[in-house]
A = this chain, B = another copy of it.
Amino acid sequence: MKLTRKQEIIVIASKLFKEKGFQAVSMRDIAKAMGIKASSLYNHIQGKQEILSTLILEVAHEFTNGMNAVVSETLTPIQKIEKIIELHIDITVNYSEGLAALNNDWMHLEEENRKSYIKMRDDYEENFRSIIKEGIRDKSLTNNHPEVILFSILSTLRTLYLWYQKRGKLDENVLKKDMVAIMLQGIANH
Contacts and interface: CB of A to CB of B under 8 A. Distances in A.
B182 A149 contact: yes
Interface in A119-171: 135, 139-142, 144-145, 147-149, 151-153, 155-156, 158-160, 162-163, 167, 170
Contact of A142 (B107, B149, B189): B189
A24 interface: yes
In the A-B complex, the 9 residue pairs with the smallest Cβ-Cβ separation, listed nearest first, are A186-B186, A23-B23, A184-B188, A185-B186, A155-B159, A148-B178, A144-B178, A23-B24, A155-B156
A66 B156 CA distance: 22
Nearest to A186: B186
A116 interface: no
A174 interface: yes
A4 B101 CA distance: 36
Nearest to A159: B155
B181 A183 contact: no
A20 B106 CA distance: 10
Interface string A97-111: 000000011011000
A126 B182 CA distance: 20
Between A151, A158, A162, the greatest number of chain B beta carbons within 10 A of the residue's beta carbon is seen for A151
Contact of A181 (B19, B144, B185): B144
Nearest to A177: B144
Contacts of A152: 156, 179, 182-183, 187
15 contacts: A19-B107, A21-B23, A81-B187, A104-B104, A140-B189, A142-B187, A145-B170, A149-B182, A149-B187, A151-B163, A184-B188, A185-B188, A185-B190, A186-B186, A190-B190
